[in-house]
Amino acid sequence: MKKEQFESFLSSHEKRIYNYIWTLVHHEADAQDLVQVSFLAFYEHIDGIEEATALSYLYRIAHNKSMTLLKSRSKMIPRDPEVFARIPQSNPAPAQDYSDLQAAIASLPVKLSTVIHLQYYEQLPYKDIALKLGISVKAVESLLVRAKKLLRKKMMQGNA
């Protein structure tokens, strides 16, 4: 089909396409938008469309665009804005008290508390901790296991 024929094609089939789309979406504004989108998509591919199949091609575009809209609409849950106004304001969760944990970490031997600090507060990988402390990665792993075990024991004694 030639681009010169598009305007006459549009004016002769616009109402039919609108009616078809409206039967699918049942919403006037959406139907009008979809007619425009369908004709635009048709125009973008007009050079590759044969004149004999142009109308069926346009109907297929209109159908596909309508189905895409209906799928996206089905994922939405319509709500009246007043519903959101009635939702009670949630109180922020009270701040956690980590003073017992911090005291337990401070009571660990220096190497163990340093490894815990570097791992959990500075979030360094084992390799960087090993470089910083001048020890092997295996030693870092070993120190962390010992530190966690000792911390767990101290925390359980404090809660008992």
Mean pLDDT of the 22-36 span: 94
Answer yes or no: pTM beyond 0.85: no
- Output the DSSP codes for 25-70: H--HHHHHHHHHHHHHHHHHTGGG--GGGHHHHHHHHHHHHHHHHH
- For residues 50 and 109, state if they share a domain: no
The CB density around residue 107, as the number of other CB atoms within 10 Å, is 12
128: CATH: 1.10.10.10
DSSP 85: H
* In a domain? residue 140: yes
Which of the four pLDDT bands, split at 50, 70 and 90, describes residue 25? very high
7 is in which domain, residue-wise? 3-76
Name which of 68, 76, 79, 80 is nearest 30 in CA terms: 68
* Count of structural domains, the chain: 2
Confidence check: pLDDT of 160 > 60: no
pLDDT value for 86: 76
- For residues 62 and 7, state if they share a domain: yes
pLDDT in tens, 104-120: 899 999 999 999 999 99
- For residues 41 and 105, state if they share a domain: no
pLDDT in tens, 48-101: 999 899 999 999 999 999 999 999 887 777 777 777 777 777 776 777 888 888
* In a domain? residue 121: yes
Return the residue matching tokens 């616009």: 14
Range 61-64, long-range pairs (CB < 8 A, 24+ positions): 62/17, 62/20, 62/21, 62/34, 62/35, 62/38, 63/20, 63/24
Mean pLDDT of the 20-28 span: 93
pLDDT value for 159: 58
